[in-house]
Amino acid sequence: MKIKEYRNQFIQELTPIYDAGESESFFYLILEEKQKLKRIDLALQPDLLFSEEEIVVWNSILEELKKEIPIQYLLGKTSFYGLDFEVNENVLIPRPETQELVEWILESQKSKVESQNIRILDIGTGSGCIAIALAKNIPNAQVFAIDVSEKALAIAQKNAVSNKVSVTFICQNILETEDLLQQFDIIVSNPPYVRNLEKEEIKKNVLDNEPHLALFVADNDALIFYKKIAELAQKNLTANGLLFFEINQYLGSEMVDLLEKMNFKNVELRKDIYGNDRMTKGSVQ
């Protein structure tokens, strides 16, 4: 069968679940990963064919997509801040909004002297996307990353190796941590922050496939991770050290209030590309 003909069939079968644009994007992502072909190759060679064996593989992926399994898990990879990351069901798929958090941290370091060494801690690292992106873009940084999941850390370690950066990974439950035992210039976290009451807003492909351990918190204690991490930051940030969080879009004012009550200075709330309250920054003095 011609690839072009299969593409039309592929998109048609997915459009009851996804819109045509998303279905087409899935097709070209798989085409590049499985066939090493780009959209332009198909345009220039419209008579390219799939073998019967290749159609079997494609049909298998198509059936998984119909079950709303994320394309990133099916391909086993995704991109974040210009880097490739391995992902599976043990880690969250990195979001575009989190790239904005990385960008904000990088902005905060632009005035620093290049030779000045800094120590960074990423709490709840998951795939390692934040820690690895920072290590890649701040060559003088010593980066540490904590997660409670050994399976997540195994993926993060692979991603550090494949992206040629050095990150020290630690398996630790941050809620049971009394002291981090060393000082950091930057602490960053994208902890679980989705309340159970917000589950109905979560897309089925996320709800049914991504790890709930990394997503959800109790409705009556939605800021549990933020309180704990902020307490640790008070003890373990250097003078003028910075604390960055990705946050629940509905709890922006609560987060600012929390940080200010805990005596963080220059507290700032930022919106993401979608106009939602998504990030906070505070400093210790």
pLDDT, mean over the chain: 93
pLDDT at 220 over 90: no
Query: With contact defined as beta carbons under 8 Å apart, do 174 and 125 qualify?
Result: no
Q: What's residue 139's pLDDT?
A: 86
Q: What is the pLDDT of residue 208?
A: 78
Each residue's pLDDT tens digit, 140-149: 999 999 999 9
Return the SS3 of 126.
coil
Alpha helix (H) residue ranges in 208-282:
224-236, 252-261
Q: What is the mean pLDDT of residues 6-10?
A: 95
Q: What is the reported pLDDT for 181?
A: 87
Is pLDDT at 113 greater than 70 in this prediction? Answer: no
pLDDT at 124 over 70: yes
Binned at pLDDT 50, 70 and 90, residue 115 comes out as: low
Query: 194: pLDDT confidence band, cut at 50, 70 and 90?
Result: confident
In the 8-state DSSP scheme, what is residue 34? I
Q: SS3 for 265? A: strand
- The count of residues in the chain is 285
CATH topology of domain 89-283: Rossmann fold (3.40.50)
pTM of the model: 0.90
Phi, psi of 276 (to 5 degrees): -100, 145
Distances, alpha carbon 233 to alpha carbons 24, 112, 238, 257, in Å: 45, 21, 9, 16
Find which of 41-45, 158-162, 238-242 is predicted with most confidence, using mean pLDDT. 158-162
pLDDT band for 203, please (50, 70, 90 cuts).
Answer: confident
Lowest mean pLDDT among 65-79, 181-195, 206-220, 234-248: 206-220
Residue 255 has pLDDT above 60, yes or no: yes
| Mean pLDDT confidence for 71-87 | 95
Q: What number is the average pLDDT over the span 187-203?
A: 85
Q: Sketch the domain layout of the chain as residue ranges.
A: 3-67, 89-283
With 70 as the cut, is the pLDDT of residue 176 above it? yes
Task: Identify the helix (H) or strand (E) that includes residue 103.
Answer: helix 96-108
